[in-house]
Amino acid sequence: MSTNSFIVFTGVAPHPPIMVPEVGGDAIVEVQKSIDAMAEFTHRIIESGAETVVIISPHAPLDERAFVFYGGPIIQGDFARFRAPQTSFSLEVDEPLISQLSSFTREDNFELIELENISLDHGVAVPLYFLLKNGWSGKVVALGYSFLSNDDHLRFGACIRKAVDETGRRVALIASGDLSHRLKPEAPAGYNPNAHLFDEEIVSAVESNDLLKVELVDDQLRRRAGECGYRSVLVAIGATKELTPRCELLSYEAPFGVGYMVAQFAADNEVLRELPALARKAIETMVHTGTAMKTPAIRFGILAERAACFVSIKTSDGELRGCIGTIEPTKDTLAEEIIANAIGAASYDPRFEPVTAKELDNLKYSVDVLSPAEPATMDQLDPKIYGVVVEELKGKRRGLLLPDIPEVTDAKQQVEIATRKAGIKPGTPVKLSRFEVRRFRE
């Protein structure tokens, strides 16, 4: 991604209210892929260090010739229209960013109209629900698109980018929108046998990392599809124009005849590379100087959070050379946790001699960041997805095994290995917990 822009993430999120558990109830199983993808989507926004999220929705009270925004200083949303009035939230509006956006839109001969004292539409509320649920916190700018030309929406996206860069704050932009609404005979907008072609073109563009394909989608096909997200996507593409595209399809499904896509267009992945790079620097500093490095000053993003982690060292041939970690966080920030565990992996893993200077050029590093552990039963374990913590019911011994280890094929084997690692005798009553990890490798 271009280093001269403060837009650190752009992507697409669907907005069916049925995805919200308080609305969908048991029916959320039909959209589980999208729900899981939104968790990953949110994690990426958090990791980008975004301080503000800009969402552009197709369901705001739209103006034919102008773009609209929800006025602040606080905006509120709920799901009362979907029989879940208790599910509500409020967020602070990034008013300086709106002020800058107003200035740039005027320069480009656009009008930006304020929506006053209006509850957020579901095109904004659903993505925000998942952002908040999955741990994001920050300010928001909620926009609605217009009925101006496709090119105007691309240019409006460029206005957003210029406004963001003027403020100097890290911002994520979300295009809220569903794809075709006519994929099945029972679809809410009717059925068109060619509607699937629209979704296939959009998905193909993302998978091939070629957003120009989205701009070139045939307008007649788009109308036959009955979509609601195309103009939102154009705004996101306009904001992404000068960035390096890093498209990734996180999920696509159409359980009710409406296409739901979760996708990344661009992301500032520097912070993701910083995790193993920080482990490398900590180890090389210790080996060369005999002292621990100073923790870098970090005020946002994943490295500023408090989390447990494991640091693994491997040779260039893939042989393990050291691994030390924490089940629960012991430091104030993940950065401090990584430094401490990296030094531990290099110097204090009892299975290996301390790492020496002559080995450094032949080593690679990875960092596994652990989610908080939650109680689990054997049938709730999946060694491909979850790590496991095994703890004596009457005692202090406990052992951990990370997920996605090639030779571990089932939950029983996973628990047996973790039990053995902890020194717990077979047959001893234990309690189980599971956790997820985010793995960052060089």
Write out the DSSP string of 421-439: HHTPPTT--EEEEEE-EEE
Neighbour tally for 89: CB within 10 Å: 16
Task: State mean pLDDT over 9-27.
Answer: 96
Q: Is the model's pLDDT at 2 over the cut of 70? A: no
Task: State mean pLDDT over 338-365.
Answer: 96
Under the banding of pLDDT at 50, 70 and 90, the label for residue 337 is very high
Q: Is 406 left (phi over 0), alpha (psi -120 to 50) or beta?
A: alpha
Span of 59-68, 152-161, 299-308, 404-413 with lowest mean pLDDT: 299-308
Task: State mean pLDDT over 182-196.
Answer: 94
Q: Is the model's pLDDT at 299 over the cut of 70? A: no
Q: Is the model's pLDDT at 406 over the cut of 90? A: no
Span of 103-112, 129-138, 433-442 with lowest mean pLDDT: 433-442
| Residue-level pLDDT at 49 | 78
Q: Is the model's pLDDT at 290 over the cut of 70? A: yes
CA–CA separation, 427 vs 237, rounded Å?
58
Task: State mean pLDDT over 247-260.
Answer: 96
Span of 87-96, 232-241, 296-305 with lowest mean pLDDT: 296-305
| Residue-level pLDDT at 297 | 76
CA–CA separation, 125 vs 130, rounded Å?
9
* H helical segments located in 50-118: 95-107
| Percent of the chain topping pLDDT 90 | 79
Q: pLDDT (tens digit, 9 = 90+) per residue, 22-45? A: 999 999 999 999 999 999 999 889
Instruction: Output the CA torsion 264→404→344→421 (10° steps).
Output: 160
| Residue-level pLDDT at 269 | 55
Q: Does this model's pTM top 0.85?
A: no
| Residue-level pLDDT at 405 | 86
Under the banding of pLDDT at 50, 70 and 90, the label for residue 273 is confident
| Residue-level pLDDT at 137 | 87
CA–CA separation, 45 vs 40, rounded Å?
9
Contacts of 389 (CB under 8 A, 6+ apart): 327, 373, 398, 399, 400, 418, 432, 433, 434, 435
Strand positions, DSSP E, 43-138: 52-57, 67-70, 74-79, 84-92, 112-115
Under the banding of pLDDT at 50, 70 and 90, the label for residue 71 is very high
CA–CA separation, 161 vs 148, rounded Å?
19
| Residue-level pLDDT at 271 | 56
| Residue-level pLDDT at 1 | 41
Establish how many alpha carbons lie within 13 A of residue 343's alpha carbon, considering only the half-sphere containing its beta carbon: 17
Q: Is the model's pLDDT at 407 over the cut of 50? A: yes
Hey, what are 56's tokens?
A: 């552009």
| Residue-level pLDDT at 301 | 61
Span of 208-217, 219-228, 273-282 with lowest mean pLDDT: 273-282
* H helical segments located in 119-229: 122-133, 150-167, 195-207, 212-215, 219-225
| Residue-level pLDDT at 5 | 73
Of residues 380, 382, 387, 391, the one with CA closest to residue 430:
391
Task: State mean pLDDT over 372-391.
Answer: 92
**Average pLDDT across the chain, whole number:** 92
Q: Is the model's pLDDT at 3 over the cut of 50? A: no
Which pairing describes strands 112-115 and 67-70: parallel, antiparallel, or unpaired? parallel
Q: Is the model's pLDDT at 321 over the cut of 50? A: yes
| Residue-level pLDDT at 168 | 80
